[in-house]
A and B are shown apart, each in its own frame.
Chain A
Amino acid sequence: MNATVIIEVSVSILFLLGVSFSLLSSFGLIRLPDVYTRSHASTKSATLGVLFTLLGAFLYFLLTDGYLSVRLLLGIFFVFLTAPVAGHMITRAAYLTNTQTDRLVFEDKEEEEKKTNSSASS
């Protein structure tokens, strides 16, 4: 077992791990009942998946060529930074426009009344 094989195996593991997260989240995207739960699948599992994959690629180039790709690192950082904001913005948009709010359970009853009224009226 030489170095190349070790690298390839570890990179493969990272890739497979990443892609399983991706697959899972895509199942979630299909399976989950409403836009909010689906957003969980996409903003988190998928993000995690891509982070693993990028890490795998980063390691591959680092270990095989000794090439430290800042572009990949920057990519990881950027995805990491923006994915939650994107999720936040889109679910907020859904929430504020009363998309599928009637299925939600509210801890705060006052809020629930407000939402159900407005979604009924809208």
Chain B
Amino acid sequence: MFEKVLMIVLIALTISIIAAIYRVVKGPSMPDRVIALDMIGINLVAAVAVISVLLKTYAFLEVILLIGILSFVGTIAFARFIERGVVIERNRDN
């Protein structure tokens, strides 16, 4: 039963991810896509947590934080890129 619930949760997360992918593909604007990507990352975090429970292992708990980190860094990079046209600035004052 518990495993069935976990499967349902996973499938729901997948649907959620697919919806986000739809937004990624559809856009229409860059920020739309980035927001959707961010959400994919967040859902992945959830998915990995569920999978860890499903597999009864701690081995993937690192993955959770890691996805969080990468998703954050990625979103910031995108935001910078959209805002300034560059990702890393040489000097903020000019």
Measured CB to CB, the residues of A under 8 A from B are 8, 11-12, 15-16, 18-20, 22-23, 25-27, 29-30, 35, 38-39, 41-43, 46-47, 49-50, 53-54, 56-57, 60-61, 67, 69, 71-72, 74-75, 78-79, 82-83, 85-87, 89-94, 96-97, 99-100
A91 touches B31 (CB 8 A): yes
Q: Which residue of A lies closest to B6 (CB)?
A: A15
Question: What class of interface size applies to chain B in its complex with A?
Answer: 35 or more
- Shortest C-beta distance, A13 to chain B (Å), equals 9
A46-B43, A53-B49 in contact; A90/B9 too (CB < 8 A)? no
A94 touches B31 (CB 8 A): yes
**Cross-chain contact of B9 among A15, A83, A94 (Cβ < 8 A):** A15
In the assembled complex, the Cα of A48 lies from the Cα of B92 at a distance in Å of 34
- Shortest C-beta distance, B39 to chain A (Å), equals 4
Is the CB of B88 closer than 8 A to any CB of chain A? Answer: no
**Cross-chain contact of A93 among B23, B52, B71, B82 (Cβ < 8 A):** B82
- Shortest C-beta distance, A119 to chain B (Å), equals 12
Is the CB of B86 closer than 8 A to any CB of chain A? Answer: no
A86 touches B12 (CB 8 A): no
Q: Which residues of B contact A47 (CB under 8 A)?
A: 42
Q: Which residues of A contact B64 (CB under 8 A)?
A: 54, 71-72, 75
Q: Which residue of A lies closest to B77 (CB)?
A: A89
Between A and B, 8 residue pairs with Cβ closer than 8 Å are A35-B31, A35-B35, A38-B36, A42-B38, A54-B45, A72-B49, A79-B42, A93-B80
Q: Which residue of B lies closest to A58 (CB)?
A: B49
